Copies of this chain bind each other. A is one copy, B any other.
Amino acid sequence: MDETLILAEDRLLGPEPKQKDLALHLYRLIADLPLVCPHGHVDPRLFADPDYSFGSPVDLLLIPDHYIFRMLYSQGIALESLGIPRQDGGPVEQDHRKIWQLFAEHFYLFRGTPTGIWLNHAFYHVFGIRQKLNGGSAQAIYDQIAAKLASPEMTPRRLFEQFNIDVLCTTDPATDRLEHHQAIRQSGWKATIRPTFRPDTVVNLDTENWRDHIKQLSEVSGITVESYPTFIQALENRRAYFKTMGAAATDHAALIPCTERLSRAELEIIFDRALCCQATAHDAMRFTGHMLIEMARMSIEDGLVMQLHPGSFRNHNGLIFEGFGRDKGADMPISTEYTRNLKPLLDLYGSDPRLTLILFTLDETSYTRELAPLAGHYPALKLGPPWWFHDSFNGMQRYFDQVMETAGLYNTAGFNDDTRAFPSIPARHDVWRRASANWLAGLVLRGLIDLSDAEEMALDLANGLAKRAYKL
């Protein structure tokens, strides 16, 4: 029943021998370069306490990772039986060995998926596992991971160093006091961990309990938000604070990336309606569209790089949202338009060299049709790497094949792992570096670039583009 887990050195590379040799050459140049992580969702708390413990293998690997449990759920496995906490505090499985057994018996579901690749990479390289995970090997592997987790080198800080992370950016609400970031700084630990300013909960009027977030914003900024002008002041205050704490960037979600400049009068009316809980869905959409423009304006002033992640229909499954809350693997992409939606913002700031706006998409149809042409023209625009469902080997191949010819490599922003699963970070960068090497080897063999071009491009893809795009 138990089989060996093998990670071949040449994995993910195309099979044609000449191409593989060349790809391996390029991969080896970049395989061990420091990891630059400009966007992600690792909890800064992990690093605030030098002795932070990851808990059990299930605490570390399963419960925080919706990539994993969505797949198990899709095959009829209840989230309760995986130990995912219910909103109402109702009973969920507490026996982590039982949860691990269930997971192991269904690990075949991840065959050929990015999650399968990341997990096997972490098993192999982080925990020294050499068996394939299945029902038969489940408990032995649990033991091995649990033992490893008990060892002193298995704190987040030691792993951070072992992973060779150059810089890690977290994502933090605009209302966050960044206490964990402060604790990291004060501890004297020399790693570079930066916050990212994410104002969605105060900027999107249709956020649940929006007024509570505004209240928090008032508290943390010391500016009583009671009108549109004070709202703007409070946001500027928070951006300034995030900058002092090392922030390099902001991040923005929007269901639809529409942008629209509203008049001061309209803004005040809409904002007042929102304060009275009377804003309509249409108000909310327009206000978000205006605030994207306003955030671009602030970025020009304070130099923070702006990221836009649109097109995710959050909490699609009503049942799961009610039972378990947000970020439970039930966010679904929708078709997303950029050419018309971004025009108002781009007309104002798209040609301003002080702005860097990094665009992401869950709608790959926009790669050749909209995003690559836009990024291949506007000085302010760069394209982020394949996002979420598209952060996979095939997704990267499509990205390279569909984006690069028109946008040009140098209008892209390198890789970011965008993960809350800390132990998967090296695996994710490794897939990107292999995909990059493989793509470049193909260009060389087809005579599109020469080897010296490819070597430079490989270094840039590995971390140079990310460093420059995010000004790190």
Contacts and interface: CB of A to CB of B under 8 A. Distances in A.
Interface stretch (A71-79, A82-90, A226-234, A264-272): A71-79
Interface string A52-84: 000000000000000000110111100000000
Nearest to A391: B405
B335 A369 contact: yes
A464 to B, nearest CB: 13
Contact of A363 (B73, B353, B369, B410): B369
Contact of A362 (B7, B351, B364, B369): B369
Contacts of A343: 316
A208 B213 CA distance: 48
A221 B142 CA distance: 58
Interface string A285-316: 00000000000000000000000000001001
Contacts of A13: 446
Contacts of A281: none
A389 B410 contact: no
A6 B450 contact: yes
Most chain-B Cβ atoms within 10 A of its Cβ — which of A13, A333, A395? A333
A446 B14 contact: yes
A97 to B, nearest CB: 24
Interface stretch (A107-115, A177-185, A192-200): A107-115
B411 A75 contact: yes
Contact of A75 (B6, B73, B379): B379
Contacts of A449: 111-112
B75 A15 contact: no
A150 interface: no
A129 interface: no
Interface residues of A, number: 93
A445 B15 contact: yes
B350 A317 contact: yes
Given A110-B408, A405-B392, A351 B14 contact: no
Given A369-B365, A373-B389, A401-B394, A450 B406 contact: no
B368 A408 contact: no
Interface string A326-351: 00011011110101100100110011
A150 B16 CA distance: 47
Contacts of A18: 15
Per CB-CB distance, the 9 closest pairs between chain A and chain B, nearest first, are A11-B447, A8-B447, A318-B347, A15-B445, A392-B405, A76-B379, A332-B339, A333-B369, A365-B365
